[in-house]
Amino acid sequence: MSTDLDLFLANVSLISLLAIIGISLYGILARPNIIKKIIALTIFTDAANLLAILVGFRRPPSAPPVLLNLQPSPSEIAEFSSTAVDPLPQALVLTAVVIGMAVNMLIIFIALQLYRLYGTLDVRKVRRLRG
Amino acid sequence: MKRELITALSLTATVLVVAYISTLGGGLGPLFSDTRPLAKVFLSTTLDPNKPMFTAMSPEGVTAIVWDYRGLDTLFETAVFYLAIIGAVAVYRDVSEKVVLKGGGVGLSKIVKLVTKLLIPMNIAIAISIALHGHLTPGGGFQAGAAMAVVPMILIVVFSRYFLLEVKISKGLALALRSIGLIGIAFTVFLPIIIALISGVNSYIMQNQVKFGAPFSFPAFFGDSLISGSLILYNLFELLAVTFGFSILFLLLSIEESLVKEQMGGEGSEH
């Protein structure tokens, strides 16, 4: 019974993440305001990162991927590698978060420049002003 | 208002129903029930002195992957970081930082300034300890850099932009320190090759511990304490690069808008 509940909760988080990705894609594509597009993009990034972490998760008994003993015996290492969660998605996400922040800053700088040059953040009006 | 409520409720209901149906099928069960073989390889070799050819000599699996097993990935992620900041600086290429001190900045009240003065040394200490313990406990250069980048941001908000100019923290200084961090990372990447060329043995780029046919190795221990070879160097240099990379962006963003427009003068008419 409890494993069914675990599985149900895992499914809820997985499917709501997919729903969030859908909503944020709608925001990126359909909203005309660039600031709203950027907000939707950050939501998309966070949902993708959380999805990666969720894929790396495993049901209890689980442990963080950190060895507490600095002189581990072979049996300790065997136990550690069979209970710890997958460290690879965490490693990918930790760089992606910081790099994503830098890329977001670049996009914000470009949006700011766009506002200075055109006086608007509406994509349709920026397009009309061109040429 | 009513329409949004209906949308939110129906979306929640859809998510719950789909989740319930997929639970009945049991389709996602295997995803969370076992460790993948690749993860097992990483976890069983991350700190194992009995397997010197395979281990990264770091008890922290995530840092071992970030800077050893998949080090080239992280190297190129750092390149993306570098390019994003260069792009932002290029947008501001016409804007000189020498802002006119029109009456100077005032900043927030005395209470806020005093509390900030007390908090900032703690913030710096925490960031440095996150970087220095990155190979032992959860943390590392990226997280430490993100924690440290808060300091210039708080300084700008609390003490004003002009205060930073007075204490000589400028865009140029931040660019120089960030470059030192990046050069340090590049140096650590190529150090095994340089040593191999000098001493006539084989080695790989970004090599940390001994590999088959490549006897070069960074020292895993410094005295009695575990430093995990090159991992501690990478974490420290990444701390520098990330901190001052973000500092550049905050410094540029906080230049007064009217001054930016003045310096860009007339460019808008060309478009």
Q: What's the total number of domains in chain B? A: 1
Beta bridge partners of B103: none
Asked whether the beta carbons of residue B80 and residue A99 sit closer than 8 angstroms, the reply is yes
Residues A63 and A85: beta-carbon distance below 8 Å: yes
Query: Using H for helix, E for strand and C for coil, what is the string for A5-64?
Result: HHHHHHHHHHHHHHHHHHHHHHHHHHCCEHHHHHHHHHHHHHHHHHHHHHHHCCCCCCEC
Asked whether the beta carbons of residue B268 and residue A81 sit closer than 8 angstroms, the reply is no
Q: Quote the CA–CA distance of B116 and B181 in Å, as a whole number.
A: 27
User: What's the token pair of residue B64?
Assistant: 């071992």
Is B33 part of a structural domain of the chain? no
Sequence letter at residue B151 = V
Is B78 part of a structural domain of the chain? yes
b/e code B57-75 from CB counts within 10 Å (16+ = b): bbbbbbbbbbbbbbbeebb
CB pairs < 8 Å spanning A and B: 176
Closest by alpha carbon to A62, among A80, A84, A90, A41? A84
Task: Give the nearest partner residue to A81 out of B43, B80, B242, using CB atoms.
Answer: B43
Mode of pairing for the β-strands spanning B221-222 and B225-226: antiparallel
Is B60 part of a structural domain of the chain? no
Is B28 part of a structural domain of the chain? no
Query: In degrees, to the nearest 5, what angle opens at C-alpha B141 toward C-alphas B219 and B177?
Result: 100
Helix (H, G, I), strand (E, B) or coil at B225: strand
* pLDDT tens, N- to C-terminus, chain B (271 residues): 788 899 888 888 988 888 888 888 766 666 677 778 888 888 888 888 888 788 888 888 899 999 989 989 999 999 999 899 999 988 888 777 666 555 566 788 889 999 999 999 999 999 999 999 988 888 888 999 999 999 999 998 998 887 887 777 888 899 999 999 999 999 999 998 898 889 888 888 888 888 888 888 888 888 888 888 889 999 999 999 999 999 999 888 888 777 777 777 655 444 4
Helix (H) or strand (E) run with residue B144 in it:
helix B141-148
Would the pLDDT of A1 be above 50? no
Is B40 part of a structural domain of the chain? no
Whether B262 has its CB under 8 Å from any CB of chain A: the answer is no
Test the A interface: residue of B20, B23, B72, B235 with most A CBs within 10 Å: B23
Is B56 part of a structural domain of the chain? no
* pLDDT 10s digits, B250-269: 888 888 777 777 777 655 44
Taking the CA of residue A113 and the nearest CA in chain B, the distance in Å comes to 7
User: Which residues of chain A have a CB within 8 Å of the CB of B22?
Assistant: 11, 15
Is B58 part of a structural domain of the chain? no
Asked whether the beta carbons of residue B44 and residue A66 sit closer than 8 angstroms, the reply is no
Residue of A nearest to B46 (CA): A67
Is B219 part of a structural domain of the chain? yes
ipTM comes to 0.83
Going along chain A from its start, the domains and CATH numbers come out as 2-63+72-129 (1.10.287.3510)
Q: Which range marks the domain in which residue B220 is found?
A: 66-270
Structure letter (DSSP) for residue B250: H
Q: Residue B265: its pLDDT value, please?
A: 62
Residues A87 and A56: beta-carbon distance below 8 Å: yes
